[in-house]
Each structure stands twice: as C-alpha cells, then as structure tokens.
Chains A and B, each alone.
Chain A
C-alpha cells in the first residue's frame, strides 16, 4: 500500500465578480509516494504546491479526483491521527508558551495527560527548543517558530509527514538540523512529503522528486534518473591565459585566475576541446566531470521566463 496516492486530484477557482473566469490552480495530478520515502515536491512559487498540500489536508475541496493517505480517505479522522502537517510560515498563538502550544496540540490529537507531558518535552528537545519551553511564542524568532512547527507535526508520532517549505526562515545550521531530522524520520520508517523551491535541499535529501509548474506535473522520479537525462558537462583547467579559437567555440563559460584558465564545456565537446588545447601546446591541469544538478534540469524543463521569479539554489 502506498503511503500517499493521488488519483487525478484537481482544483480550479472561479474568479471575477461579473464575468466569472475559471482559474486552474492544479491540473489533474496523478502521483504516488511509497512508505519510508522522502519525497520532494518542487516548483516555483505559485506552481500549485501549497494547493496540493491543502487538498491533501482536506482544507480545500477538490474540483475533481481523489486521494488516499495510508489507504484511507481524506478527512477520515483515523487517517488524520497518523499524519502531521507543517504549514508555510506559521505564526501560532502569540501568548502561549511553547509548552502550552504543544500541550494544546497533544490534547487535540487525543493523547492522554501523562503521555502528553513526556512527549512534549521529548519533542522540544528533538528540535532544540528545550531552553525556550516556557517562553511565549511572540518572542520567538522565525527560525524558532519553524522548529516549533516541526515539533507539533511530529508530536504524535505520525506515520506520514507533510511539510510545506520546512526550511524557510532557517539559517544554514537550522537547515542542516531539519535535514538531519528528516533523515532520522526516514530511518524510523516514516514517510516525508515536503514541498520546497530550494533545489539543493531536495537534491541531497530526496529519494524521489516531482516537479510541478503552473499547476501541471512536469516530471517525477529519482533525482539521479532525472538529471541523467540532461547532458553532462566537464570542467577543464589549463596553464596560461590564452584560449585557442577552436576551444573558445566549444566553451559555455570560462574563468581566468592567476595563471590558469578554467572552462566549462559540454560533455559531447569534451574530446574536441582537449584535442584543441593539446594542438596549441597548452598544458592541461585537470579535467573534471560536472554533475548536472537538479537546477539544470529545472531550468531546462521550465521555460526560462517562468523560472526567473521563483527558483533559488
């Protein structure tokens, strides 16, 4: 049984007061996520990531299609007891302390009093907030709020976690901690479904990713599989500061520093470039393959003008 099965889920809104126009937020989506996977849901802002998550959480009603989580329908309370959700940029209740907030959520998740107390302190420690347990949330920094958000999502030990932009607002150390947390969850057999527009995080963390753009799915698969379709590159470094004309035509970019040149050529042109350099009597220092990143894949898959707004690595 898949952890998450999305069967043609779609959402469109009618906008406009007098002339009703249809605006499509999500075209029919077919996707499945296996148990124990870390699944990345990528796309620029406005692509439909949050809409998908809200559809899965039952916050928004689909125009068509359905979905199943752990084999159960959306809005099934038994299913909800086993999932955790972190919304984008949460603020929480200003006047509660971290302890009180988590107590409240534990109550709503149906945990008994004794269990609540131990779980709350355990989870606060996990996210590194045990020192701020008695501080009111309005004094929390953005990073701390993000961590408290993760805390409430894992509080009741859910099987599937849905995280909307979990790294947003975190400094590099915080990002690393969240990544470590997600990997730990995976080790414990949990499924993590998270959306992001930060490609480097997805690259190192995810087993599989889906790329969505303008409400439409553009690609699904393991990162390695996706990037292998894209042409590779190589980096050639040589002595001196001259660039032979023949080599120049083959390069996509170059960089002069001190007494060496560093150039990037397409994998297909690699041999021709090396020949060109040797014919010019230039001493080559190194030749290194450059792994295509997800960003390359992204940039190739999506039209350039559309990616300018949202993609960040």
Chain B
C-alpha cells in the first residue's frame, strides 16, 4: 500500500519537474539578485529587512501560485489524458491515488522551497556580509511557509477531485485570500449576534487560517518565535491538511468518473 502511494507521489513529482515547474527558480534567482543589488542603493540601513521581507514574500507567493496551478489539475488532468483509468484498473485504491498525488506535489514544493531558501540566505549574505544568530528564525518562517503550502495543496486537490480546473482555481485562490483575513473573520464572528454569529463563527473556523503562519514581518525584524507557537501552528496545519485530504478522498471515492 505505502509503496504504491510512494510510486504515485514519485510520478507526480517527476511530472512536475519535467513540466519545467522548477524553472520558476530561475525567475526567483533573478528577482533576489536584482533586489540584493538594488536594495543597497535604495534603502540604506534596512537592507536586511528588505531582503528578508522580499525574499520570504516571494517564496510564499511563488509557492502558492504553483500549488494552486498544479493542484487544480492533479485529478482533472489524469482524467483528460485517460491515465486515471489505466491506474485505477490496477489494484490501486482511489484513496491511495489521492494521497499519492498530494505527497507528489507537496514534495515538489518542498524541494522548490529548499532551493529558494538557499537563495534568500545568499542574498542576505551579499547585502550584509555576515549572518547573525537571529537569522535562524528565517528557517522557522520558511517552515511555516511550507506548512501553508501543505494546506493550499490539500485544498486545491480537494477542489480538483470534483470540479473543473477553472472553478478549482477560483475556489482555491478565494480561500487563500479569505484565509489571510481569517483573524479578522473571527473578530467579526465575536461581534455578531444570533444565527448570524453561529454561521460566521463556523465559517471563521472552517476557513484556512494563513495569517498565523505568516511571520515574515517579525522574522525580518529578527524577533524570536516561541516554541509553543511553532508546535500549535504545526498541529493546526497538519490537522487542517488532513481534513482537506479526507474530504478529497471521500468525494473521490464516490464520484462517477465519466
């Protein structure tokens, strides 16, 4: 069982790489190089700040775009190419297929982030000539960004399991935007009354909470991150990802693949 999931994951990873997704790293490298060179002339004294802000924001945004664009096609593309039929006619469970696809894309994003992380540190070294201990929090920020990717991938996969690529993209992107406001949504929920309050609270907790995973600004100011915060965020992200994956599996198990 786990071997098949691994094979499906590996195939998904290979497909993404050969589809030249990793070329986005070139765009990223150009961006970071340009920024590193320019930042010294535009914002003296806050070079580190700008490099960390720009670098981590780019890592986050590039990755979200890739997660959504590949994620929405994970299932629909296999149907279009008829490959899904040949896979499922073998002793492969439908749930194994979904989980394998998830790990394939997650793995791709992880590798992507690794390379980008190196790029950010390289740019940082270039502008400030040395590292400080506080830079270790940048690694935590990158870890949180990866957690965000896991959530987005699961969400995109969920939509891909039953709807067309275009709709899936719209839904996934909308959830990403709403998820960035998740804190505000919970605030509104606290102020609402009656049935409205119940609905908004439900929505507020159902929506993916990306705001707490975004610690880019504070890491740019070299502020430390509490261990408890790291643990809670990890737990939340993994649980939410699991929930979305279960949803995807459930939908996919009962779907007629016309």
Mark A residues whose CB is within 8 Å of B.
54, 57-61, 77-78, 80-81, 83-96, 100, 104-105, 107-110, 149, 152-153, 156, 162
Whether A95 lies near B15 (C-beta < 8 A) is yes
Whether A60 lies near B89 (C-beta < 8 A) is no
Q: 1/0 per residue B244-258: CB within 8 Å of A?
A: 000000000010111
With A61-B254, A94-B19 known, 10 other A-B pairs at CB within 8 A are A54-B257, A60-B256, A80-B92, A84-B89, A87-B85, A96-B11, A96-B18, A105-B87, A109-B90, A109-B91
Q: 1/0 per residue B77-92: CB within 8 Å of A?
A: 0001111011111111
Pairs of residues from A and B, 7 with the lowest C-beta to C-beta distance, nearest first: A95-B18, A85-B89, A77-B91, A91-B81, A90-B82, A87-B85, A59-B257
Which residue on A lies nearest to B79, using beta carbons? A59
Q: Is B7 an interface residue (CB 8 A)?
A: yes
Assign chain B's interface to a size class: 20 to 34
In Å, the complex CA distance between A162 and B89 comes to 10
Give the residue of A83, A91, A92, A110 whose beta carbon is less than 8 angstroms from that of B89. A83
Inside 8 A of A162's CB, which chain B residues have their CB?
Answer: 89
Whether A90 lies near B81 (C-beta < 8 A) is yes
Inside 8 A of A80's CB, which chain B residues have their CB?
Answer: 89-92
Mark B residues whose CB is within 8 Å of A.
3-4, 7-8, 11, 14-15, 18-19, 80-83, 85-93, 254, 256-258
Which residue on A lies nearest to B87, using beta carbons? A108
In Å, the complex CA distance between A105 and B87 comes to 7
In Å, the complex CA distance between A81 and B256 comes to 22
Give the residue of A57, A100, A107 whose beta carbon is less than 8 angstroms from that of B88. A57
Which residue on B lies nearest to A137, using beta carbons? B81
Inside 8 A of B80's CB, which chain A residues have their CB?
Answer: 91
Which residue on B lies nearest to A77, using beta carbons? B91
Inside 8 A of B254's CB, which chain A residues have their CB?
Answer: 61
28 contacts between A and B (CB under 8 A): A54-B257, A57-B89, A59-B256, A60-B257, A60-B258, A61-B256, A80-B89, A80-B90, A80-B92, A83-B89, A84-B89, A85-B85, A85-B89, A87-B82, A89-B82, A90-B82, A92-B81, A92-B83, A93-B11, A95-B18, A96-B14, A96-B18, A100-B14, A104-B7, A107-B3, A110-B4, A149-B86, A162-B89
Q: How far is the CB of A252 from chain B (nearest CB, A)?
A: 43
